């Protein structure tokens, strides 16, 4: 089954303790992206990647890192989490085509609480 898989689904942790949220897709998509969702603000893009070893900042990258060493995986790293990073996080992926825009497929989300 074609899917985007995020882990963990839920995490409660404390300020300053490094954490990683994994994202994996089995659709051979070039494009992968991370979003955070906060009430009243919709989905805001954190980082995206056009292909292996190619990453770039989205609209709200501060406090986050990403890496794209393999095509299928795109982990989100919080080196020193703070309470304002408490949010619902989504990973998404899509094909990249020169001929048409390809819609993104989303994972089921990771709810992070930073105390």
Residue ranges in contact with another protein by CB under 8 A: 4, 31, 33, 35, 40-45, 48, 50, 58-60, 90, 92, 94, 96-98, 100-109
- CB of 16 vs another protein, minimal distance in Å: 27
- CB of 43 vs another protein, minimal distance in Å: 4
Closest CA to 89 of 35, 48, 45: 35
Q: Which is nearer to another protein, 1 or 42 (CB)?
A: 42
Q: Which is nearer to another protein, 8 or 16 (CB)?
A: 8
- CB of 101 vs another protein, minimal distance in Å: 4
Q: Which is nearer to another protein, 33 or 85 (CB)?
A: 33
| Long-range pairs of 49-56 with CB within 8 A, sequence gap ≥ 24 | 49/74, 50/96, 51/96
CA dist 99 and 78 (Å) reads 35
Q: Is-contact 53 42, C-beta < 8 A?
A: no
In the structure encoding, which two tokens stand for residue 83, read together?
């309470």
* Other Cβ atoms within 10 Å of 114 Cβ, number: 19
Q: Which is nearer to another protein, 81 or 94 (CB)?
A: 94
- CB of 103 vs another protein, minimal distance in Å: 5
């Amino acid at each position: 089954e074609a899917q985007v898989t995020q882990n963990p689904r839920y995490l409660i942790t404390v300020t300053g303790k490094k954490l990683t949220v994994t994202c994996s897709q089995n659709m051979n998509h070039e494009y992968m992206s991370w979003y955070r969702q906060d009430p009243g603000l919709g989905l805001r893009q954190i980082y995206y990647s056009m292909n292996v070893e190619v990453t770039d900042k989205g609209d709200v990258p501060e406090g986050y890192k990403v890496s794209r060493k393999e095509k299928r995986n795109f982990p989100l790293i919080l080196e020193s989490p703070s309470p304002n990073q408490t949010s619902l996080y989504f990973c998404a992926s899509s094909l990249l085509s020169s001929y048409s825009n390809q819609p993104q497929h989303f994972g089921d989300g990771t709810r992070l609480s930073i105390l």
